[in-house]
Structure 1
Amino acid sequence: MRTNKDKLVMISVQGTIVRPEHSGRHSVSHDGKPFMLPGTGGITYNVKVGDCAFGWEADHVEPGVSTILDQDKRDSGPNRGYNFYACIGNEARVVSGDAKGAKGVVTGHHGGAEHVLIDFPDEVLEKLTLDDKILIKSFGQGLKFLDYPDVYVYNIDPNLLEKLSIEEKDGKLYMPVVAVVPSFLMGSGIGSTSMGTGDYDIMTADKKTLKKYGLDKLRFGDIVYIQDHDNTFGRCYRKGAATIGVVIHSDCKYAGHGPGVTTIMSCAMPKIKPVIDPDANIAKILKIGRYRE
């Protein structure tokens, strides 16, 4: 499969670990129940890519290490730049503190919070502190399929893309995915035009529908096919379109929310086809998180 990988630039971006925030007050779930639980940010020791995205006593929990450039200026240009440049599969390296020199892998970016998520081995997590800085060799934005100009690629390291076992047949790309998500289940994040940052959510209030489509056991890192969704220039419904994404954060209790999906590929026409593969998970492919050797 031909790409423009040799024309991409690799640029350093650097962030720090997010300090978890909380109001200390109850929130209200989609079914009217109050809850007060851990959420985003920090160093999450026991939740990793490869784990189930459901069942945690948390809301929007992020696996591994949550990072940001400036926690007090989430909407600033430099913060947006940090989120944009970091691509799934990029190498991340600790550049301060006791874990200095340790390497990890970017696993997604979370919209709203504007966090970049990174997986590190357990021995590195034990050495990290909230004051540590992490440098990412950003590489991937601008990636294109030279023979498929209608298929747009975002937020993925080309070296990871090459490991996804995509097949070309009859002018279409056949993509291994864990599950197919029907268009009507996509919620928070629809309408965003920021395709190079953030994510959008699979709504999970209807448990029977989730089970019907085999989505109730999605894992962090799972690659999914979103049916009839066009993410080429913004997130919208379009019959026949297709979007490929990676599950990056956990289920959520708020109405319109659920596991977050970072876009890695989209086409407004039916040129991407799903091939169900339970092993289509970036943790398995990269041997990180729960599948680290």
Structure 2
Amino acid sequence: MSLRTNKEHLVMIGVQGSVSPAHQWAPFEVGADGEVFAWPSTGGITYNVKIGDSVFGWAGEHIEPGVSATLSHKNRKAEAGFQFLACCGNEVRVVSGEAKGSVGTVVGHHGGVEHLILDFPDDVLDRLTCEDKFLVRGFGQGLKLVDHPDVYLYNLDPGVLDAWGLREREDGRIEVPVHAIVPECAMGSGIGALSVTTGDYDILCHDQDLVREHGLDRLRFGDFVAVMDHDNRYGRTYRRGAVTIGIVIHSDSPLAGHGPGMMTLMSALGGKLVPVLDEKANLGIIKGIGRFVSP
């Protein structure tokens, strides 16, 4: 049985931003184990880190795969609108420079820096400059499952939802393919944030025993993951029996309280969402992007 949505009533709005400059946060930083490092971090055009790659092992922290985009505007609400309206899986088009007309895919939002993460093929990345601009067809906020009003959807293009492979069970619960299931104790930076329609929160991966026990060492950019006992319906908080589903959007970090970032896509209480482990639960496989581009 297919899951009915209200996608025919959603509003599509164009929002435009440009490449966010790469950041240096400090001359040196100190990790959770006392290690001192000076690594690349957020922003810029990242050529060799892509959807489908592991989020671990890079000489970098909070790395954003592909293009990091932002909107600088005197009106902060307009800046927030750029993030809010752009949803996972939306089409993005280059509207300036040598790569003008090229099309890519929105991956997700990175909170704190307020970046939108965009995937483009290699030949497009090679033609982009840090002055280029991008037009996103923002489509997805307000999406609902018509027969399941107790499931809250955010930041999700209806086309991704349709292709994801969710399955409605006879008992009314919904099975959701995910690549990993995260225990409630392993969520850090971003907990308590009111808005789940912008930004992300981090999966803590400093406890290596916990990482191995739950298979978190397999996390890839673009993976769909489930967080147990986390309620993201109206903000990010602990609630027994809740399940939140999201997408991994940035790399691991040595910083205490930080780790691979996850943007919220859906949340529900009472065991309504049933995560099912699936190696193919990745945006790149659905969209044919990143490391999953067809040869």
Scaled by the length of structure 1, the TM-score of the pair is 0.98
**In the TM superposition, what whole-angstrom CA distance separates every residue of 1:178-222 from its partner, at most 9, and x where no partner exists?**
111000000100001111001000011111110110001200000
Q: Distance in 2 between matches of 1:268 and 1:199?
A: 20
Residue 211 (1) aligns with residue 218 (2): no
1:134 aligns with 134
**In the TM superposition, what whole-angstrom CA distance separates every residue of 1:33-82 from its partner, at most 9, and x where no partner exists?**
11110000010000001100000000100000000011x87x91111110
1:1-293 aligned within 5 A: 1-23=3-25, 25-70=27-72, 76-169=76-169, 170-293=171-294
Q: Which runs of 5+ in 1 are unaligned?
A: none
Query: AA paired with 1:102?
Result: S
Q: Distance in 2 between matches of 1:57 and 1:235?
A: 30
Q: Distance in 2 between matches of 1:7 and 1:24?
A: 46
When residues 57 and 109 of structure 1 are mapped into structure 2, their CA distance, relative to the original with a 3 A threshold, is same
Query: AA paired with 1:256?
Result: G
What secondary structure sits across from 2:83 in the alignment?
helix
**In the TM superposition, what whole-angstrom CA distance separates every residue of 1:243-272 from its partner, at most 9, and x where no partner exists?**
000000000111011000000000122100
Query: AA paired with 2:175?
Result: Y
Deviation at 1:23, TM superposition (A): 4.3
Q: Distance in 2 between matches of 1:29 and 1:136?
A: 36
Q: Distance in 1 between matches of 2:25 and 2:92?
A: 31
- Which consecutive aligned stretches of 4+ in structure 1 deviate over 2 angstroms post-superposition? none
Q: Note the aligned Cα RMSD (angstroms).
A: 1.0
Q: Which runs of 5+ in 2 are unaligned?
A: none
What secondary structure sits across from 1:56 in the alignment?
coil
State the identity as a percent. Answer: 54
Q: Distance in 2 between matches of 1:23 and 1:82?
A: 23
